[in-house]
Structure 1
Amino acid sequence: MGDLLTHAADLRLSERELKDAIKIWCRGTRYWNCLVEGAPRVDLSGNPTGEVTPADAGRARQLQAGRPARSNQPQSGQQSTS
């Protein structure tokens, strides 16, 4: 988070907005799909900072499995826009 805060002024985002963005990204399917055991971790500059651990990969799989399947159907109470 500290690395990103150093760029906050350039990004024109507050600390709260950065935290919210990180929270959204880290809860997303694309992020979880990247958490494969042994995959490289990189910093904001693209430099290697380690590897995804077996525990991290296992947690990502658990989170994926617990997420309801997405569908193109509107949820109850919502109207379709098509």
Structure 2
Amino acid sequence: MDSPGSTDGPVEPEPGSHLVTTTAKPSLDITHLTAGQRRGTHCAYCDRPVRSDHVTDLGQCRDPIYRTHVFPRAHPECARTVS
């Protein structure tokens, strides 16, 4: 369904298109990530800065709402404790 005033088609993503498949858990909802979390400079779960020698890469995806690439990463202990 097109939103009012939209000229380039639907603005709502298809179901599930805002989820990133990860090794830590089946998926990560990228809807509410901060800018640092989206760039991978901050943990996707706790939002603390991550170091490149102590990080779990959670993959990447294209955000259908903002039309940008998202590179979420996490501290290994945060990725393990997420249920």
TM-score by length of structure 2 reads 0.22
Q: Which has the higher helix share?
A: 1
**Bigger Rg, structure 1 or 2:** 1
Q: Which has the higher strand share?
A: 2
Q: Name the structure, 1 or 2, with higher relative contact order (CA <8 Å, separation 6+).
A: 2
TM-score by length of structure 1 reads 0.22
